A and B are shown apart, each in its own frame.
Chain A
Amino acid sequence: MKSYLLGRLLRTVPVVFGVVTIVFLLIHLLPGDPVEIMLGESAIPAQKEELRRELGLDRPVLSQYAAFLAGIPRGDLGVSFRSREPVLREIARRVPATVLLAATSIAVAVFVALPLGVLAAMRRGKPADYLSGFAAMLSLSVPNFLLGPLLVLLFSVQWGLLPVSGYGAGRHLVLPAVTLGTGMAALLTRMVRATLLEELRKEYVTAATARGLPYRSAVALHALRNALVPVVTALGLSFGAVLGGSVITETIFSWPGIGRLLIQAIDARDYPLVQGCVLVIALSTVAMNLATDLLCARLDPRIRYE
């Protein structure tokens, strides 16, 4: 197990390295000069040169790249051009908001998808099944940038139940989490239904009920657990999509997370901040995938990691 873990960790290095390199090249290829964005058009050329030198932008791109890579192991992601604060501190300030939003939206997705998926599988071909299928299709087809304002219109403006936007752990969290979690819930519902249906056809369920175990218990205790392995894998993989989706959701709901920070950093051509944000997102996606694999081993003892 330990050697597996070590191997997996080592394999993340080229993945993260690749992501960081591509982002570094792309952001430097983009037209637009961070110095001009910072100083404005009317700055004296000497002043621009001075700032360019100070930010290290006068050095060859390869040397900038090497300096960036060398800083990563030390946790030094550079200093934001925009705010002149260490990138890591800027990101650390936004992490709690994004983690809170991502975790809550995943929780929303799981709490909706599990019962709905199980219901659809157990009532296959009945109205409940069709209804859940229709709801899932509808949720998947509505993009976040439309669903968010629609929910605001209904729950905030029409009924006045929840705040329109802003940051907070309570009422403020509901609409962004539901917006972000809805698409994932739809996907998971269909997945739970499909995998559970497959399990229900297997002989061990028949055997369990033949031994006198009530059908519901057979489903809950045996079939559901086995059906969850692919679901958990999908959940882990969709974490990246949640972070990606949070860029839009955070903008709609004025949520001060990493997604919004990344957009602002790209607009300002704040190279270190863009690189830092992407690095953190890549690292957390990789970590989430690893955690998912480990969780699958707990759920299904037949999965062995050697």
Chain B
Amino acid sequence: MLLLRHGRILLLLLLVSACAQKLPVDEGRLVIALPGAPVNVDPRVATDAYGEQILQMTHASLVRRNAAGEPVPDLAERWESPDPLTCVFHLRPGLRFHDGRPLTSDDVRYTFSWILDPANRSPHRALYRHIEAIGTPDPRTVVIRLSEPFAPFLSTMVRGIVPAGSPARGYAPPVGAGPYKVDDLSPDGEAVLSAFDAYYGGPPAIRAVTVKFVPDSNVRFLELKMGSVNFVLNGVDPDLLPAASLPGRLAVEEGAGGNVTYLGFNLRDRALSDARVRRAIALAIDREAIVRSIWKGRADLVESILPPGSWAHDASLPPIRFDPARSRRLLDEAGFPDPDGDGPLPRLRLTYKTSQNEVRRRVATVVQEQLRQLGISVEIQSLEWGTFFSDVKKGNFQIYSLTWVGIADPDIFHHAFHSRSAPPDGANRGGYSDAEVDRLTEAARREPSRSIRREKYRRVQRILARDLPVFPLWAGRNLLVRDRRLSGFVLTPDESYAPVRAMRIVPDPSTPASGGRR
């Protein structure tokens, strides 16, 4: 009995001490949770999403992208192209790195020369293969000369600049010129950032940022509920969101997303080589029902793999609406009649490959059922990521489902649909070939005029909507769960963390000033 009484007192004491603890947001600290740890925080070699996301806060580039994917000034205040092969960048005055060194054209040349040097084996080297020479006539001018016209060039300039002489090994802490500097970075632990007072855009209002690496999605959500994490972008399971948006400390924001999920068809397959069969499959899938039930409405239907926010997106494409009757007619026409009416025999048997992601598997099951109603028997193969992606690249599939992530430029159409872009040279995995698409995508990547490029890509999108080498399904919406007191973050389709620099902490009248944990 005595023990029990003491136990209660002890528990009470612990609870009181816990309630008295301040949350990070009370101390002015932004705590972001990422689903994984970065492999690298070096803009010259980083390829993983988590590394890129930290770099968006710590490093500055010559240009950055706005919400429509267009290049806007960052370190370069302006630029011009005297001819299609030359681009001249003019740096802002008084730029500095985190360690106080001035940032000059030499640092820009060093960064790109390092990436282009084969000895350094940068994974980004292929991206800059069009660069022939980099000139630095004065400390604030960079002249980049290309070997051939390459319109997407400007969008490739979104690459953090590092100080000249930075070694690949021992580039720690990673020094950049972004709004936050890295104070501490422990692999698999967390990254501690602090405001950089000499940032050209002025020091950010939130002085301290911690980036925690939390792989488990339930734990990320629990950290948010507890307040030890106060900012999670696209890291909370949609099923848990109703709990997050209950009146309380947390707020949920939604914005259009830029990652397009699609079904890929193998055009080397006898049945799928017929555009009528591909269209019949597309017409038989009720995308709206899937978005409503699985995505809880948090995805937008798309008709092109180029996300709706992009400057080259064609909004006038006719939507493919669920129409089982027309789908049946198309299959009959294509030579796949139903052999036994309502009987068990299918018109067609197909295999659908997907990764082991839970949401994708649920989508696959719904598609399987919807196609079964039409007489198409679908076998789902849910494979471990490495195995699945290897099969997709080898063309070892009939139908697969994937998501295009981080489409920065409409040149993606050359990468994904040009007849010479079969893996390993590109991502035309289904073996699509169309002379007009080849011609248009080749011309568009050489065309300096944005309006002419846009027109060419619109024509490409109309041809693809006619041929359906892939069936674009939807773009998942970006979801931010944050503490109510954090304001000023602008969601962009590319999930950029760059707007963190514009955030600030405001008092929230609905929350007690201190203490309140839940």
Contacts and interface: CB of A to CB of B under 8 A. Distances in A.
Interface of A: 30-33, 36-45, 47-48, 50-51, 54, 82-84, 93-94, 148-149, 152-153, 156-157, 159-161, 163-167, 251-254, 256, 260-261, 264, 267-269
Interface in B259-301: none
Across chains A and B, which 6 residue pairs bring their CB atoms closest together, nearest first? A32-B386, A256-B188, A160-B18, A31-B390, A31-B387, A164-B223
Given A32-B390, A36-B393, A164-B226, A149 B214 contact: no
B309 interface: no
B448 interface: no
Contact of A47 (B125, B226, B415): B125
Contacts of B425: 45
Contact of A156 (B14, B222, B427): B222
Contacts of A166: 189-190, 212
Contacts of B130: none
B386 A253 contact: no
Interface string B411-426: 0000100000001111
Contacts of B228: 156, 163-164
Contacts of A251: 215-216
Contacts of B40: 83
A153 B224 CA distance: 12
B316 interface: no
A38 B15 CA distance: 48
A149 B222 contact: yes
Contact of B219 (A47, A252, A269): A252
Contact of B424 (A45, A82, A153): A45
B388 to A, nearest CB: 9
Contacts of B189: 166-167, 254, 256
Interface string B205-231: 000000011111011001101101100
Given A30-B387, A153-B222, A160-B19, A260 B188 contact: yes
A261 B129 CA distance: 34
B391 interface: yes
A160 B129 CA distance: 54
A27 B36 CA distance: 22
Nearest to B518: A157
Given A30-B387, A42-B127, A164 B39 contact: no
Contacts of A83: 39-40
A167 B184 CA distance: 15
B155 interface: no
Contacts of B226: 156-157, 160, 164
A104 B37 CA distance: 25
B21 interface: yes
A33 B424 CA distance: 12
Contacts of A156: 222, 226, 228
Given A50-B121, A82-B39, A165 B223 contact: yes
Contacts of A51: 121
A160 B21 contact: yes
23 contacts: A30-B387, A33-B390, A38-B47, A39-B126, A42-B127, A42-B426, A43-B123, A44-B125, A44-B126, A50-B118, A54-B121, A82-B39, A156-B226, A159-B18, A160-B15, A160-B226, A161-B14, A161-B15, A161-B18, A166-B189, A252-B219, A254-B215, A269-B386
A138 B214 CA distance: 28
B40 to A, nearest CB: 8
B186 A41 contact: no
A21 B496 CA distance: 44
Interface of B: 14-15, 18-19, 21, 36-37, 39-40, 47, 118, 121, 123, 125-127, 129, 169, 186-190, 212-216, 218-219, 222-223, 225-226, 228-229, 385-387, 389-391, 393, 415, 423-427, 517-518
B3 to A, nearest CB: 14
B222 A152 contact: yes
B427 A41 contact: yes
Contacts of A32: 385-387, 389-390
Contacts of B424: 36, 41, 43, 45, 48
Nearest to B386: A32
Contacts of A84: 169
Nearest to A54: B121
A252 B40 CA distance: 22
B423 A38 contact: no
Contacts of A161: 14-15, 18
Nearest to A43: B126
Given A33-B390, A166-B212, A47 B126 contact: yes
Contact of B216 (A167, A252, A267): A252
B167 to A, nearest CB: 12
Contacts of A39: 47, 123, 126
A277 to B, nearest CB: 13
A33 to B, nearest CB: 7
Given A51-B121, A54-B121, A251-B215, A40 B47 contact: yes
A43 B126 CA distance: 6
Most chain A beta-carbon contacts within 10 A, residue among B19, B47, B118, B219: B219
B214 A165 contact: yes
Contacts of B212: 165-166, 254
A33 B125 CA distance: 19
Nearest to A152: B222
Most chain B beta-carbon contacts within 10 A, residue among A31, A50, A83: A31
A246 B415 CA distance: 42
Contacts of B186: 167, 256
B126 A93 contact: no
A50 B37 CA distance: 27
A31 B386 CA distance: 6
A50 B117 CA distance: 13
Given A256-B186, A269-B386, A41 B222 contact: no
B219 A149 contact: yes
Nearest to B394: A31
Given A45-B425, A164-B226, A269-B386, A40 B123 contact: yes
B279 to A, nearest CB: 28
B14 A254 contact: no
Contact of A41 (B39, B393, B517): B393
A153 to B, nearest CB: 6
Given A45-B425, A159-B18, 14 more contacts: A30-B386, A31-B387, A32-B385, A45-B424, A47-B126, A50-B118, A93-B187, A94-B188, A148-B216, A149-B216, A156-B222, A164-B219, A165-B212, A167-B189
A145 B15 CA distance: 26
A94 B187 CA distance: 9
Given A31-B390, A149-B218, A166-B189, A157 B123 contact: no
A254 B40 CA distance: 18
Nearest to A260: B188
B385 A256 contact: no
A166 B220 CA distance: 11
Contacts of A268: 39
Contacts of A50: 118, 121
